[in-house]
Structure 1
């Protein structure tokens, strides 16, 4: 993983502290998330507090840690970010988030693997990574500011949930 920004136009001194080591990564960063559904078919979404996509709704999730499976990462992030526990039902797809700077260099590149899950316990709470959390009906997603690709991932996750829920 990169220890700081790289740029084709200006290089930062290696002695300067960097605020975000996920900027200008040498390779895509692997992440995982989970679309958690309750019995009524509502899905859990959270408004992010950090880039990429601050103040937009997405699925709870984050970076996969070394030695962790994608499913383990998705469930850990769900619990850490919003205090909810779920059971994974299946894979829903992936979304690539690629952000470029003004010079065209890749500033951020995440590959987010999304799962479908069913709620087990815990009421969603806000925290350092989620400024707002709520369960919403699928038709309410269109009225929210969301991360790119969220509607498609949630639709696929919902299909998995309908097929495999207990």
Structure 2
């Protein structure tokens, strides 16, 4: 266990009014659905890290629209890990989402309901914030 939080990034990518979710394949959040993302490398800008992780994790390219929020990720039963995740809102550019070592499944979900999937803490809030930045008002009301 590290004695300080690690910085991560994620991107809420929207395409045709839907948001891209990935099911975590490893770690303590395995099986939960979240936004594609991962750790920031030393010397890497946050938005660049978010786009790199999106490409590495699910083979999708997007453009960053804006900052969508921050989420702290810690287990409730004690601090085995502590991540500060900076989330961005983005628009899909290219690539069909693929599974891989970190994403056991991928889906384009309804941003209002997240298709009723079991999701990570604060995901509904972050997706709502991102949707307000990317989608037309008629799709977020």
TM-score, with structure 2 as normaliser: 0.92
The alignment status of 1:158 with 2:131, answered yes or no, reads yes
Compute the displacement of 1:162 (Å). 2.7
- Looking at structure 1, the residues matched to 125 and 39 of structure 2 have their Cα atoms a distance apart, in angstroms, of 21
Unaligned runs of 5+ in 2: 137-141
CA RMSD after TM alignment: 1.3
- Where relative contact order (Cα < 8 A, 6+ residues apart) is larger, the structure is 2
Quick check: 1:68 aligned with 2:69? Answer: no
State the Cα distance separating 1:71 from its structure 2 match: 0.4
- Pick one of 38, 47, 57 that aligns with 2:23: 47
Q: Is the 8 A contact 2:109 2:115 kept in 1?
A: no
- Residue 81 of structure 1 pairs with residue 54 of structure 2: no
For these two proteins, the number of residue pairs brought into alignment is 136
Whether the aligned pair in 2 keeps the contact of 1:100 and 1:107 (CA below 8 Å) is: no
Residue equivalent to 1:25: 2
Question: What is the SS of the residue equivalent to 2:57?
Answer: helix
Quote the offset at 1:100 in angstroms.
5.7
Runs of 4+ in 1 over 6 A off after TM superposition: none
Query: Which residue among 67, 72, 77 is the counterpart of 1:96?
Result: 72
When normalised by structure 1's length, the TM-score is 0.78
Paired position in structure 2 for 1:20: none
SS of the residue corresponding to residue 67 of structure 1 reads coil
Secondary structure in 1 matching 2:75: strand
Segments of structure 1 that go 5 or more residues without pairing to the other structure are: 1-23
